[in-house]
Structure 1
Amino acid sequence: MTTTLRPAAPEDSGPGGTRSRRYTVCVNSRPVGELRLATDVRFGAAVGRITDLRIAGPDRGRGRATVAALAAEEVLRGWDCRRVEVTVPETAPAALRLAAALGYTERNRAMRKELPPTPPDLPPGSRPRPMDEDDFVAWHAWEREHYVASWTRHGVPPEQARAKAEADHRVLLPDGPRTAHTVLRVLVHDGADVGHLWLRLPATPDTDAWVFFVDVPEDHRGHGHGRTLMHLAERECLTAGVRSLALNVFTGNTPAERLYESLGYRTTQRTLTKPLL
């Protein structure tokens, strides 16, 4: 039996050369599933994504998804993509096993926590203050370089990482420290600045807030300030009526992963990548 991809719709084109298309997964011309491919709007046309892959129940467990995924990679190579990414929900262990078997490696994961009704206390001597203009200028320059370096360490070419950083900051911080739904705080402990928090509150309180950035300078690490900053994020959310908090963590950042797990965060989805040689 032969598993193939058959175009199910015309190709869609987007800004910056991005493209996407839906396919039907067929076995000897018999439809058994569906698949969607797209280039990544964040990293440009050189990065492809398998955004959806579904095989009908009676045809699962027969290798159809494996062949369809490999065929999808060939399509992306024809689009001149040099890397492919997939995002897999934690509730789909079979898809995670398939991705691992095909040579995908985890780059980052999303984690989420339902917040308790009572805000956590901050430790004695610790207090937050709003980030002012001078704080923001210094922090923003450092944070952007840190952001670029983080993506570069995880296989993203420097020019793509820098373009992503510039685009993300234009969208997420258009008005600097006065950006709507944005909480920027400096953590002060015993009179010294020991960390920063960047929190994005949702427009409506029934959706997740996001911790975009938590940072403790190296000379202040090892004193629990990272945990204090995360507790501060919870306090800000509860004050705004938000009951859930999410974040992204790069794979291999063991101290951060352990901190978030100890605070009750649970993985919701994982992003995996593979070079297209």
Structure 2
Amino acid sequence: MILVFGKSGQVATELAALPDTQCFGRDAADLTDPASSAALILQHAPSAVINAAAYTAVDKAEEDEDTAHLVNAQAPAAMARVCAEMGIPFVHISTDYVFDGSGTALWQPTDPVAPLGAYGRTKLAGEQAVSDSKGIFGILRTSWVFSAHGNNFVKTMLRLGASRDALTIVADQIGGPTAARDIAQTCHVMALQLAEDATKSGVYHFAGAPTLSWADFARAIFAKAGLDVAVTDIPSKDYPTPAARPANSRMDCTTTTQAFGVPPCDWDAALDAVLEQLKDTSA
């Protein structure tokens, strides 16, 4: 059995549908109490662990970094240590926010990290703790997650597009939209393969291709959903937020494909599937 931390989040919801997985929410392990995470792993003695839970409120983290650090750094540290002691793989989901978003090149897993805000700092601390555990681990950095579940850009655009005929969307942030279902499947593959080959331990990237701006992603969503919404490009400075977002979230996924046979997410096809899923659930 693969034990999954997270139950209601986008990736955890998709992991729950995969074979031999068991998802646990806050009622089973409160990640603000890292010891409870380790205890849950010891109690269930799984074959692998996937951490799909995180403090993801990017703006709120600016004023609540202590809580974000507990959930994003100290809890994964406790999970990784007990997995190392048990000799089982630990797969941990991280983020493009560990980078400063400079330049236009694709970020490599080995590139220098320099988070812009509290969320990125806490996620980076989690990565470092997982690596320091010296166990069998896979850190999977991803970006711009979307699905038919929870809160995400696709669902926000559909909601706004249903009642408005024009929107202004940030166009100077570039990245790869990534389907939660594809992230879940990749984590599952990593857990299984790491159990067979511990030498694959390391940091990997998994994101959607081709890359584009938020504004262009919005246009794609509206076109596929049949919504007539005019999108006007604006710079990030015209949409200020408490936490800075990386301008460049382009991620190189080559080593993930080489190690695990998983190609980058085809966000165009994944978006079709999510829109169809949303249509079915609203029918």
TM (norm. structure 1) is: 0.26
Higher strand share: 1
Higher helix share: 2
TM (norm. structure 2) is: 0.25
